[in-house]
């Protein structure tokens, strides 16, 4: 297997495990986590978030399927070799995503300005990295199989709406 494909796979495996682990930890070990972490988010918006999270998770699998099907030696984003870019983008998505739940748990337990800005920064990094993912998928070559590229691109847009709009911009307004 190509070393760049191994690197992407490792980032996805370890980063994805860290994200899921942080959510399991947060939801099972923190009293009232399922309500406290929503802050003052209107209850009518919570099903929108839930549906968006599920759509984003499913989209993630389409994106990964497309990327792992590419040959790193021939993958280009724009005019440059581009496979490694997807590894960096996923690192920028997964690392702050894994930090979010522990940061919010700390904020619920003992609110503070530094924690608040760390939460905001982590959400913004994920949202902006999601935008970078959309842009990279728009410019990636080759785009075969075409149907999977379209699914990955559409999924990346869904993921970006969730991470940038719902998580980075809307949720903080209600949480604090």
> For the whole model, what pTM was predicted?
0.94
pLDDT tens by residue, 123-133: 999 999 999 99
110: left (phi over 0), alpha (psi -120 to 50) or beta: beta
Rounded to 10 deg, the angle between the 83-109 and 113-139 helix axes is 160
What is the pLDDT, as a whole number, of residue 74?
97
Helices (H), 110-141: 113-139
For the chain (length 176 residues), average pLDDT per consecutive 10? 97 98 89 85 93 94 96 96 97 98 92 97 98 98 96 97 97 90
What is the pLDDT, as a whole number, of residue 36?
85
Peptide bond into 64 cis (omega under 30): no
What ranges do the domains of the chain cover?
Answer: 3-10+43-175
What is the pLDDT, as a whole number, of residue 128?
99
Question: What's the CA gap between 143 and 166, in Å, rounded?
Answer: 29
Contact 7, 83 (CB under 8 A): no
Question: What's the CA gap between 149 and 55, in Å, rounded?
Answer: 17
Geometric angle at alpha carbon 12, from 75 and 131, rounded to 5° = 65
């Amino acid at each position: 297997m190509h070393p760049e494909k191994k690197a992407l796979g490792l980032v996805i495996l370890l980063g994805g495990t860290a994200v899921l682990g942080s959510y399991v930890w947060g939801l099972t070990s923190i009293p009232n986590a399922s309500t406290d972490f929503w802050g003052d988010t209107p209850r009518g918006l919570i099903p929108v978030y839930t549906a968006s999270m599920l759509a984003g998770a499913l989209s993630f699998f389409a994106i990964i399927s497309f990327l792992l099907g590419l040959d790193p030696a021939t993958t280009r984003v724009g005019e440059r070799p581009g496979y490694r870019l997807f590894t960096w983008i996923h690192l920028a998505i997964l690392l702050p995503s894994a930090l979010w739940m522990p940061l919010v748990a700390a904020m619920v337990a003992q609110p503070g300005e530094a924690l608040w800005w760390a939460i905001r920064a982590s959400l913004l990094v994920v949202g902006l990295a999601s935008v970078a993912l959309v842009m990279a998928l728009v410019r990636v070559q080759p785009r075969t199989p075409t149907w999977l590229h379209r699914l990955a691109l559409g999924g990346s847009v869904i993921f970006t709406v969730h991470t940038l709009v719902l998580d980075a911009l809307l949720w903080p307004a209600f949480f604090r």
